[in-house]
Amino acid sequence: MKKIFVNITSWVGSIGAEHFYANATEIESDENIFVLAQKEWDYSDTKETLQKTLSQTDADYLNKKDRSKYPLKKGEKTIHFNSVEEIIEATKLQYPNCDIAFFKDYLEYEIFEVNPQTIVDIKKTGRKIKIHNFNGFSSEFKNLIEGSIHDVIESPEKHKSKNLQNGVWVWGITEPVLVLSYEFVYEN
């Protein structure tokens, strides 16, 4: 299955306009996305710089933001994104049914989101949580940062018989982890 590794960088121009950029590396592997994401990668050899087609609203926004003497127009392609969230959504659309790992260059390649498409053993409950005052310190918790939003999953089979009612399960870097009730708020 295809694995997509997206390195996101940002740049602040001379007038203070911040833009986000993304380079995607695509590999074919049966190895787990979480395991692959923790290996060292050379992002200088990326296969594709992500682009988006501008809507009129996007063009107007970027023109106002940049104050460029060469205004952008609706329908043109650009490598400038307005936010990390916009890059994540564009990547999911461009690479449907692929496992995707996102990295931020300015955080020294720290993984901040992994979107596995192949994990079917544990079902999502339909609830989402937002991390708040999280105290976990294992490397398994690197994706659980203040304000990050995660899908709640069913308790893993090996923990179903235990009385762990003081939290909810979400995906850590490579496996499900328990987030305690005082370390999150429900989003829905």
How is residue 146 written in tokens? 């203040």
**pLDDT 10s digits, 14-52:** 566 677 888 888 888 877 776 676 666 555 555 788 899
Q: What is the mean pLDDT of the chain?
A: 78
Structural domain including 163 reads 124-186
Whether the CB-CB separation of 7 and 109 falls below 8 Å is answered with yes
Q: What is the pLDDT of residue 108?
A: 42
Point out the domain boundary residue: 90, 115, 140. Answer: 115
| pTM confidence score | 0.55
Question: Do 104 and 140 sit in the same domain of this protein?
Answer: no
133 and 66 both lie in a single domain: no
Mean pLDDT, range 62-69, rounded to an integer: 74
CB 53 within 8 A of CB 76: yes
CATH number of the domain that residue 154 is part of: 2.30.30
The number of folded domains in the chain is 2
Is residue 105 classed exposed, middle or buried when 0-12, 13-18 and 19+ CB atoms within 10 A define those classes?
A: middle
